[in-house]
Amino acid sequence: MKFLNIALSGLILAATCLSNVANAGLILQVDSATSNMGEYATSWVTDNAIDQSGLSIGYTSGIDDFDDYLALNPTQTTSPNETWFSISGVSSGFFDFSLGGIYNIESFALWNESQNGGQGVNAFNLYADDNINFTTATLLGNFSAIEGLNIAEVFEFSATAASYIRMEVLSNHGSSCCVGIMEVAFEVSTVDVPEPSTLAIFALGMIGLASRRFKKK
């Protein structure tokens, strides 16, 4: 009977540990980006928003922890040459990100344009899809970004598997010129939860062993 109690206690502890698994994620750099809003000039191209240019602290994509990195408060340069700007007179449209593979993403980090008043992203939607045309896109959420932070603002949503992310920019903060993005990154979920069958087999084995010991007595 004592052995049975120990076995059951072990199962309860295992179940508790599994229920307390915390979400953990790695930071992911975007592989490539395009926009139907164009590029203001050759110095302000879409690649500026995804290549870590201008960040005060760099990161290793797929290796560094998302939360730990952002806790360092990496800032973006004050140089506009490390930023993407849309063509003159355009402040809404699509900014599409290719992740370079299928990833389970759960957060979006945005270093909003903050050096020229009113040109930062304001309202926007995020969509996820497994194809570049976004024909079966999933809406991740409707968001509003703050201008002037110079550090990343994080937007969270339900973990979703995707290869492509579309940022639908609905408005900037009032500038008649354009809209700008300094840098972006994503958080990839890395939680490893044991399969239910594994725990079930373990449970049956422990209870069966306990029963045999109890019967022998």
Place of tokens 């490390």: 82
Q: What is the pLDDT along the chain (217 residues), one digit of tens a residue?
A: 444 343 434 433 343 343 344 457 999 999 999 999 999 998 899 999 999 999 999 999 999 999 999 999 999 986 767 999 999 999 999 999 999 999 999 999 999 998 888 999 999 999 999 999 999 999 999 999 999 898 999 999 999 999 999 999 999 999 999 999 999 999 999 754 444 444 444 444 544 544 444 444 4
Q: Annotate 121-132 with b (16+ C-beta within 10 A) or e (fewer).
A: bbebbbbbbeee
Fold entry, domain 25-189:
Jelly Rolls (2.60.120)
In whole angstroms, give the CA distance from residue 68 to residue 71.
Answer: 5
The predicted model scores a pTM of 0.78
Tally the C-alpha atoms within 13 A of residue 200's C-alpha that lie toward its C-beta: 3
Strands (E), 22-71: 25-28, 32-35
Rounded Cα distance between 116 and 179, Å, is 10
Beta strands in the chain (DSSP E): 25-28, 32-35, 84-85, 93-112, 123-129, 138-144, 153-169, 180-189
Any idea what the Cα angle at residue 105 is, between residues 102 and 109, rounded to 5°? 125
Q: Is the dihedral of CA 47, 50, 53, 59 positive or negative?
A: negative
